């Protein structure tokens, strides 16, 4: 009789013992995992451009799902809860190289006169996904208004200090 209970208990424990994270083995981030990280992003000169710590809210995403810039996504793979890492990403791992072809020129007649914009002002444009995004005016002539639609961090090396605060593997 006591062997029956022993067998039942062992059968109940087998899934627990062989599920990562449940048998004392720490989960290591891999594609498909849900992860929460705190991070600080800086430029080469030390200027901070973003930080989840400032918002007091970690960034959550699915590893390998294309929700993050490629280098950041790759950087968290292999990390565990509590791990901290500093990575520097080249432009091709982040927002790409700055591209002259992303300077859009709009005929000045598309704007109300007198033109109240000046170089450096931001104007809203509809993105391919339907959202309004603001881009800077980089040139104004008698014929056109030129807008830089490159990401503001395009062409820049980015350094991220990353700390994993939560890691879950979907069942």
What CATH number is given to the structural domain containing 126?
2.40.10.330
Query: Is residue 52 a part of any domain in this protein?
Result: yes
Query: Is residue 58 a part of any domain in this protein?
Result: yes
- Are 70 and 128 members of one domain? no
Q: Which structural domain range is residue 82 located in?
A: 26-95+156-168
Closest among 53, 20, 52 to 168, alpha carbons compared: 20
- Are 44 and 124 members of one domain? no
- Are 143 and 163 members of one domain? no
- Each residue's pLDDT tens digit, 91-128: 999 999 999 999 999 999 998 889 899 999 999 998 88
- Each residue's pLDDT tens digit, 10-45: 444 444 444 445 555 789 999 999 999 999 999 999
Domains held by the chain: number: 2
Is residue 165 helix, strand or coil?
A: strand
pTM for the whole thing? Answer: 0.78
Query: Is residue 13 a part of any domain in this protein?
Result: no
- Are 160 and 79 members of one domain? yes
- Are 35 and 90 members of one domain? yes
- Are 87 and 163 members of one domain? yes
CB atoms within 10 A of CB 150: 19
CATH number of domain containing 163: 3.10.50.40
- Are 87 and 160 members of one domain? yes
In angstroms, the CA 78 to CA 85 distance is 11
- Are 52 and 128 members of one domain? no
């Amino acid at each position: 009789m006591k062997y029956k209970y022993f067998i039942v208990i062992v059968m109940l424990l087998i899934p627990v013992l062989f599920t990562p994270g449940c048998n004392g083995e720490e989960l290591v981030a891999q594609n498909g995992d849900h992860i929460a990280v705190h991070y600080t992003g800086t430029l080469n000169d030390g200027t901070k451009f973003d930080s989840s710590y400032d918002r007091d809210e970690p960034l959550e995403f699915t590893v390998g799902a294309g929700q993050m810039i490629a280098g950041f996504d790759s950087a968290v793979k292999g990390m565990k809860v509590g791990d901290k890492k500093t990575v520097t990403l080249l432009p091709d791992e982040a927002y790409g190289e700055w591209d002259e072809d992303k300077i859009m020129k709009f005929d000045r007649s598309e704007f109300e006169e007198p033109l109240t914009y000046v170089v450096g002002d931001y104007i809203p444009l509809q993105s391919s996904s339907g959202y309004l995004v603001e881009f800077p005016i980089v040139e104004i002539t008698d014929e056109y208004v030129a807008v830089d639609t490159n990401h503001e961090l395009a062409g820049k090396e980015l350094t991220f200090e990353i700390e994993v605060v939560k890691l879950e593997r979907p069942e």
